Amino acid sequence: MNKPLRRISLFCGLLVLALLIRTNWIQYVQAEDLSTRKENRRVQIAQYATERGNIIVAGQPITGSAVTDGSDYKFKRTYTDGPLWAPVTGYASQAFGSTQLESLEDGILTGNDDRLFFDRTIGMFTGEKKQGGNVVTTLNPEAQKAAFKALGNNKGAAAAIDPRTGAVLALVSTPSYDPSRFAGNSKDDEKAWVELKDSEDKNLVNRALRETYPPGSTFKVVTAAAALEHGVVKEINDPTDTPDPYFLPGTKTEMVNHASGCKEASLNEALRVSCNSVFANLGDKVTRDKMVETAEKFGFNNDKIDIPVRAFASVYDKKMGKDGNAQSSIGQFNTAATPLQMAMVTAAIANDGKLMKPYMVDHVTSPNLDIIEKHSAQEMSRPLSAANAQKVQEMMVNVVDKGTGTKAKINNVKVGGKTGTAQHGEGNKKRPYAWFISYAENPDGTSPVAVAVVIEDSEADREDISGGGLAAPVAKAVMEAVLKTQG
Amino acid sequence: MSVVTNTTTIGAIELPSRRNTELMLLGFAVVIPIFAYANVGLAINGSLPPGMVLYGLGLGALAGVAHLVVRRYAKYADPLLLPLATLLNGLGLVLIWRLDQSDRLQNLAKRSYGAFSPSAPNQMLYTALAIALFAGVLLVLKDHRVLQRFTYISMVAALVLLLLPLVPGLGADVFGAKIWIRVAGFSIQPGEFAKIVLAVFFAGYLMVKRDALALASRRFMGLYLPRGRDLGPILVIWAMSLLILIFENDLGSSLLFFGMFVIMLYVATERTSWIVIGLLMSVGGAVVVASFSSHVGARVSAWLDPFGCWQRNGADAGACEQIAQSIMSFGSGGVLGAGWGQGNSDLIGFAANSDFIFSTVGEELGLTGVMAFLLIYGLIIERGVRTALAARDPFGKLFAIGLSGAFALQIFVVAGGVMGLIPLTGMTMPFLASGGSSVLANWILIAVLIRISDTARRPAPAPAPSPDAEMTQVVRPS
């Protein structure tokens, strides 16, 4: 009977071998896949198992961690002034995932990033608990608060940039939300989440980065820059050849002006009172392709603007006809921009034509505050020459001093700006968006702040007055806050 | 070491008893689980577990008793079986204790039953009881051949054990499988014991009928088909295993009993055709049952695509979620594992400490740990097969290979099930899983193997000098 016994022993060996092969397959070959599957709650359990590092503004953490009981997740995220900072931090929720900085810097915040390997290893020997690193932002808390307060109950957004470096100083979106409300995974959290997710006001949307609006008349500064750059206008005070009424090229549609005195008005005057006809005419003369060229240098049509949170691409249509291009030159038709984009336009002009890459993470640190990675200012492009930039600056200052933007005036400070009221909706029936872009200038000619503000659903319907009336005070409040804190 | 030569056909080669080797190995088998226990305590609570000394003493005492009994009553037994079983049992206790500490499982139990009761103390109690039974078997059963007398009684006993869960009022339907009975507050899985009793019947029956089955057959299409009256019992057993499967929803046990029978039949008759016939029959039976039984069908679809079926069925995915969770447990363990007490295998849910205990090994000890465990099981099987090879009587050979084969099949079915290699059948991992019946039955199994190996390795008594030795040739079956 020994021969079959040997065969049976071989068979038993094969059974064990099959198990050995299987375990190698799932624990070695497929391990990576299995351990990171979306169904695998361990990923999130680990994410919330240790105290998360913080997001820091001006030396103060705006986030925190709280211990939760009776849950798979040990720590829960807390936020100080959640609604104020939500557009910057995004949220980290045990049940609903994470977004924006919380998501992008997750490796640093949880302490799992490869660059923290040594900290983790040392911690293993010293018995210290694993800790997360910190993310230090460039934001200016005073500017952020000023913008948030000034926007108040309006639906809208504001973005402020330091034109010299590209550092984001304020990033506000209203109505906002408190990420603390759904940071856990309880029934209350779920209720808050559903309420916010389905809210008519789209509270969870970061309007400063993730909503594009027709920029309206604020786009005229781009058209002005293009006209100067491409030699269509040599001197800003020379009259242009714009007739009144002006018909869109190839059509019988009149480009209506809300301002008076636009016939053959100079570029300077046209920007001051915001003549539609003059800029439509100039845009047409510059031609579509060159308009696209300049707009793209300012950052339009770029879907990779990461600060590091990605902003939606702003649009200047590359394929429209002559009449579309003329309309687009005054920020209507297919033109659309995020508040950040318009802040970048303003910043480039204020910085003498040099567009700095916008960023909001200054540096990230290890748990013991060693700097792991520091952002260095980078030039992104040069949409216009320094000489032309100064010409546009002169015109923008004129707008604030004597034009539609007088509400942004600050005593003893040189301020340049541009108002905008963008029509939208079918037949332009919906309430227009009020825009304002501006920058403030130091005595030495450099500019510490450029800001763009948009307010949806403005009550007024007259072009420019509303932009100047509603949005300009917000921009002013931000500029004042920056000037005060930067002394 | 002395070599005794004599004139009988049975070689009386005295092997070293190896009792001291066994003692030394037992030392390791006790110390390793104690370290494991300390490790879990440190990982979960940051301090050495309070019961550590007691646990160490308890396990050590049990191992000591078992060793002394073997030393006294089974002097020549295989020295590896006892330490291997002790090691597995000890580590199993640690695994169960570790899962007792899981908040998740405690909350789950409170939600489902209103209260949570830890399983480790029960398991310790059952282990003590099992060692007592182990000693009892070795004390009472001086020679395994005695069991031949109980061939037909065993058959009846096995049938009774298997059918008990179907008795109204006694059987309990737990999570779809009717394989438990409840007596005076205790749940017993009679199938675990039936495994051993059935092996006695098979061995006894086949030893008697092997020639008839092997030789009195007609050749048909290259296969040797036996006569109907010899074929009868295998058909009865096959039908029985399918009936168990159908009425008790117990795919694992039916596969196990049938597989064990085919293995023993093959060894007894040395005819490969039995393997072919057996395979055809089991495949046919399984296909028919899988297409008619919803319970088995669900297991099969959970095996084919656990994640997809989990997603499709949402909240009531049950089996699919278990399998998916189990596979993710293994995957998350990776090569080196998360470390004792630091995994999340409790995500699997209520079966984490019974059917799915091997997933905890997978996650917390990783590929390395799983392979080590599989090799320990492999070694037990190997020692069992060796015992069968060494046994000198056909009954002992058949009995030993039947038990070892059943053990191997059980390991394969359970581990393969939780690793997603084959459909899950809901059996227990011997020595590891929480559950009294399993621990008791498997210690009895080890006791029987030790008894057979003792008999096999025992030197034949020196024959009395016989005046006829020169003239008479004694011919005995080998």
| pLDDT tens digit sequence for A124-163 | 777 677 788 899 999 999 999 999 998 888 889 999 999 9
Annotated catalytic residues of A are 217
Res B348 pLDDT > 80 = yes
Question: What angle (nearest 5°) sits at the alpha carbon of residue B432, between those of residues B412 and B154?
Answer: 70
Q: How much is the mean pLDDT over chain B? A: 85
Identify which of A214, A132, A265, A1 has the alpha carbon closest to the alpha carbon of residue B207.
A1
Residue owning tokens 């300012």: A298
Res B346 pLDDT > 50 = yes
Res A219 pLDDT > 80 = yes
SS (H, E, C) chain B: CCECCCCCCCCCECCCCCHHHHHHHHHHHHHHHHHHHHHHHHHHHCCCCCCHHHHHHHHHHHHHHHHHHHHHHCCCCCCCHHHHHHHHHHHHHHHHHHHHCCHHHHHHHHHHHCCCCCCHHHHHHHHHHHHHHHHHHHHHCCCHHHHHHHHHHHHHHHHHHHHHHHCCCCEEEECCEEEEEEECCEEECHHHHHHHHHHHHHHHHHHHHHHHHHHCEEEECCEEEECHHHHHHHHHHHHHHHHHHHHHCCHHHHHHHHHHHHHHHHHHHCCHHHHHHHHHHHHHHHHHHHHHCHHHHHHHHHHHCHHHHHHHHHHHCCHHHHHHHHHHHHHHHCCCCCCCCCCCHHHHCHHHHCCCHHHHHHHHHHHHHHHHHHHHHHHHHHHHHHHHHHCCCHHHHHHHHHHHHHHHHHHHHHHHHHCCCCCCCCCCCCCCCCCHHHHHHHHHHHHHHHHHHHHHHCCCCCCCCCCCCCCCCCCCCC
Residue owning tokens 């809208």: A156
The predicted structure's pLDDT at residue B51 = 87
Closest chain A C-alpha to B348 CA, distance in angstroms: 11
Confidence of residue B7 (pLDDT cuts 50, 70, 90): very low
Identify which of B7, B1, B2 has the alpha carbon closest to the alpha carbon of residue B465.
B7
Q: pLDDT: is A90 or B377 the higher one?
A: B377
Q: What would the mean pLDDT of B28-32 be, rounded to a whole number?
A: 96
Q: pLDDT: is B33 or B241 the higher one?
A: B33
Candidate from A11-25, A63-77, B29-43, B413-427 with smallest mean pLDDT: A63-77
Looking at the DSSP assignment, which residues form a beta bridge with residue B280?
Answer: none
Q: How much is the mean pLDDT over chain A? A: 86
Res B186 pLDDT > 50 = yes
Q: What would the mean pLDDT of A351-361 be, rounded to a whole number?
A: 91
- Other CB atoms within 10 Å distance of the CB of residue B315: 6
Res B11 pLDDT > 60 = no
Confidence of residue B2 (pLDDT cuts 50, 70, 90): very low
DSSP A307: S
Cα B355 from Cα A291, distance rounded (Å): 70
Do residues A48 and A75 make contact, with C-beta atoms less than 8 angstroms apart?
A: yes
DSSP A358: P
Radius of gyration for chain B, computed over Cα atoms and rounded to the nearest angstrom? 23
**CA distances in angstroms from B278 to B215, B262, B297, B321, listed in the order given:** 18, 6, 22, 33
Confidence of residue B386 (pLDDT cuts 50, 70, 90): very high
* Span B246-275, pLDDT tens digits: 777 777 888 888 889 889 989 988 888 878
The predicted structure's pLDDT at residue B9 = 47
CB contact A237 to B (< 8 Å):
no
Cα B54 from Cα B393, distance rounded (Å): 43
Q: Which of B329, B363, B424, B478 to mutate to test the interface with A (most CBs of A within 10 A)?
A: B329
Q: What would the mean pLDDT of B62-89 be, rounded to a whole number?
A: 95
Q: Which two tokens stand for residue B316?
A: 């009531």
CB–CB contact A34 B331 (8 Å): yes
Q: What would the mean pLDDT of B34-59 be, rounded to a whole number?
A: 91
Cα B105 from Cα B343, distance rounded (Å): 13
CB–CB contact A27 B335 (8 Å): yes
Q: Tell me which chain A residues have a C-beta less than 8 angstroms from the C-beta of B411.
A: 15-16, 19
* Span A292-349, pLDDT tens digits: 999 999 999 998 888 888 889 898 888 888 888 888 888 888 888 999 999 999 999 9
Structural domain total, chain B: 1
Do residues A81 and A93 make contact, with C-beta atoms less than 8 angstroms apart?
A: no
A186: CB partners within 8 A, 6+ apart: A71
A131: CB partners within 8 A, 6+ apart: A50, A51, A53, A111, A119, A123, A367
The predicted structure's pLDDT at residue B13 = 57
Confidence of residue B1 (pLDDT cuts 50, 70, 90): very low
Do residues A348 and A332 make contact, with C-beta atoms less than 8 angstroms apart?
A: no
The predicted structure's pLDDT at residue A69 = 73
B311 occurs within a structural domain? yes
- Other CB atoms within 10 Å distance of the CB of residue B459: 15
B429 occurs within a structural domain? yes
Cα A373 from Cα A135, distance rounded (Å): 10
Let me know if domain A216-360+378-485 sits in CATH 3.40.710.10: yes
Q: What would the mean pLDDT of B282-303 be, rounded to a whole number?
A: 80
What domain range includes position B272?
143-457
The predicted structure's pLDDT at residue A427 = 62
Confidence of residue A49 (pLDDT cuts 50, 70, 90): confident
The predicted structure's pLDDT at residue B462 = 67
Q: What would the mean pLDDT of B103-107 be, rounded to a whole number?
A: 84
Residue owning tokens 């825009």: A435
Identify which of A166, A98, A83 has the alpha carbon closest to the alpha carbon of residue A132.
A98
Do residues B41 and B62 make contact, with C-beta atoms less than 8 angstroms apart?
A: no
* Span A390-420, pLDDT tens digits: 989 988 998 888 888 888 888 888 899 898 8
The predicted structure's pLDDT at residue A345 = 94
B431 occurs within a structural domain? yes
| A:5-24 residues touching chain B, CB 8 A cutoff | 5-9, 11-13, 15-16, 18-20, 22-24
What does pTM read for this prediction?
A: 0.72
The predicted structure's pLDDT at residue A464 = 52
B307, closest residue in chain A (CA to CA): A39
B110 occurs within a structural domain? no
CB–CB contact A33 B331 (8 Å): yes
The predicted structure's pLDDT at residue A487 = 55
Q: What would the mean pLDDT of B94-109 be, rounded to a whole number?
A: 88
Cβ density class B166-175: b for 16+ within 10 Å, e for less: eeeeebeeee
Cα B462 from Cα B477, distance rounded (Å): 19
B282 occurs within a structural domain? yes
Candidate from A26-30, B14-18, B59-63, B339-343 with smallest mean pLDDT: B14-18
Do residues A246 and A330 make contact, with C-beta atoms less than 8 angstroms apart?
A: no
* Span A440-475, pLDDT tens digits: 988 888 889 999 999 887 655 555 556 777 888 888
- Reply yes or no: is the peptide bond before residue A448 cis, omega within 30 of 0: no
Task: Look up residue A218 and give its amino acid.
Answer: T
The predicted structure's pLDDT at residue A428 = 63
How many CB contacts within 8 angstroms connect chain A with chain B? 129
Q: Which of A3, A17, A26, A32 to mutate to test the interface with B (most CBs of B within 10 A)?
A: A26
Res B26 pLDDT > 90 = yes
Task: Look up residue B199 and give its amino acid.
Answer: A
Give burial (CB, 10 Å; 0-12/13-18/19+) of A411: exposed
Residue owning tokens 């097969």: B385
Do residues B187 and B180 make contact, with C-beta atoms less than 8 angstroms apart?
A: yes
Cα A257 from Cα A220, distance rounded (Å): 14
CB contact B141 to A (< 8 Å):
no
- Tell me the backbone φ, ψ of residue B255, rounded to 5 degrees: -60, -40
Helix, strand, or coil (residue A392): helix
The ipTM, to two decimals, is 0.90
Res B175 pLDDT > 90 = no
CB contact A31 to B (< 8 Å):
yes
Q: pLDDT: is A401 or B67 the higher one?
A: B67
What percentage of chain A exceeds 90 in pLDDT?
27
Helix, strand, or coil (residue A471): helix
Question: Where do the structural domains in chain A lie, given as residue ranges?
Answer: 216-360+378-485
The predicted structure's pLDDT at residue B35 = 95
Q: Which of B323, B365, B412, B422 to mutate to test the interface with A (most CBs of A within 10 A)?
A: B412
The predicted structure's pLDDT at residue B249 = 72
B220 occurs within a structural domain? yes
From the list A28, A33, A39, the residue facing B335 with the nearest CB is A28
Identify which of B138, B144, B137 has the alpha carbon closest to the alpha carbon of residue B200.
B144
Closest chain A C-alpha to B344 CA, distance in angstroms: 7
